Amino acid sequence: MTADQGAPAAEPRGNEDDGSMREIVLVTGISGSGKSVALHALEDAGFFCVDNLPPELLRDFLRLEQKRRDRRVAIAVDVRSADSLPHLLPLLAQLRAEGVSIQAIFLDATTGALLRRFSETRRAHPLADRGALVEAIELERELLADLRDLSTVIDTSQLRPTQLRSWMRELVRAPDSRLTLVFESFAYRHGVPLDADYVFDVRVLPNPHYVRELRLLTGLDAPVAAYLAAQPEVGEMLERITVFLQRWLPAFKADQRAYLTVAIGCTGGQHRSVWFAERLAEAFADEAAPLVRHRELEPG
C-alpha cells in the first residue's frame, strides 16, 4: 500500500478517539436487585451488553467499540469488581469530560426484599465471605454509595420482572438533552419507592375507594378523574405541588441532573396517586421530558 493510499485512514482513527461519538448505558446496583433482568431487557432492545466488565478495561473496550457505530452499548459493573471500584468514579468523570455520554442506572431494593430473593434463589452473595447475608448487603451498600449518588436509581423492591424490563426500556429511550421528570404513583401499604427524589402524600384527600361505583376503577378512568377534579382540596394540593416543582426545576436543570423522580403515594396506589401523576405529567410536558409510572397498576 502506498503512502497516499494509507493517508485517509488517519481520519477514522481520529474519529475513533472522539468520545462524543459514543453513548453507553452503565448498569450497576445491589446484588439481587435485578441487574440480569435489566441487561436482558437492554439486549432485547438491541444493545450489545457486557456483564461485570472490570472498570480498568472500560476505556479499552470503548476504544474497540468506536469501530462499531451501528450498535448501542450497555455495561454492567458491580461489587464483584470491588477492588477496582475506587477507580471507577474518576474514570467516569474523565470520560464524560472527553465527551462520552454515560447514562448510569443503579438498581436498588430494600434489605428485606433482597433477603427474600437470596433465600428463594439459594444463590450466594458476592461478599458472602465477609460475614452474614445482612452484613454483606450493608457492606455492598457502603461500597457502591458514591456510584449510587451519581446514577438514576430504580427501586425494584415491589417490581415484577416485566415492570423492570418496561422501565429500563423507557429510561434508555428518554431524551438525554434535557431533564426527564419521572412521576411515579405508589401505595404506601407496599412501601415508599427508594428511587424517589421527592415524595408527596395524598392520603389526606377524599378517596374514590369509598364511592361504590368508583371502587373498581382507577385514576386513569374518566369518572374517577371527574370526582377528584371536583374536590377543592384536591385542586389546591395539585396547585401547591406544581408551584413547588416549578420553583425548583430550574435548579435541577442547572445542576445538570438527567432525571428527577417525583413519587405520589396514596393508600392503595389505584386512584388518587395515579390521577396526580397523570396531571403533573401534563403540567410539565413543555418544561421537561415526563415519564409516568404506576407501580401498583402495571401488569406483571
Residue 259 has pLDDT above 70, yes or no: yes
pTM score above 0.95: no
Q: What is the mean pLDDT of residues 134-142?
A: 91
Which is more confident, 242 or 62? 242
Tell whether the model's pLDDT for residue 11 goes beyond 50: no
Confidence of residue 3 (pLDDT cuts 50, 70, 90): very low
Strand partners, 292: 183
Task: Give the model's confidence band at 14: pLDDT under 50 very low, under 70 low, under 90 confident, else very high.
Answer: very low
The whole-angstrom separation of Cα 272 and Cα 210 is: 12
Mean pLDDT of 13-29: 63
Average pLDDT along the chain:
85
Q: Which CATH number fits domain 19-173: 3.40.50.300, 3.40.190.10, 3.30.40.230, 3.40.50.620?
A: 3.40.50.300
Per-residue confidence at 235, pLDDT binned at 50, 70, 90? very high
Where do the domains of the chain lie? Answer: 19-173, 179-300
Whole-angstrom distance, CA of residue 286 vs CA of residue 252: 16
Checking if the pLDDT of 287 tops 70, the result is yes
Mean pLDDT of the 109-136 span: 87
DSSP character string of the chain: --HHHHGGGHHHHHHHT-GGG-EEEEEEE-TTSSHHHHHHHHHHTTEEEEES--GGGHHHHHHHHTT-TTSEEEEE--GGGGGGHHHHHHHHHHHHHTT-EEEEEEEE--HHHHHHHHHHHTPPPTTGGGSSHHHHHHHHHHHHHHHHHTSEEEE-TT--HHHHHHHHHHHHHS-SSSPEEEEEEEEGGG---TT-SEEEE-TTS--GGGSGGGTT--TTSHHHHHHHHT-HHHHHHHHHHHHHHHHHHHHHHHTT-SEEEEEEEESSSSSHHHHHHHHHHHHTTTTSEEEEEETTTS--
- Cβ proximity of 48 and 73 under 8 Å: yes
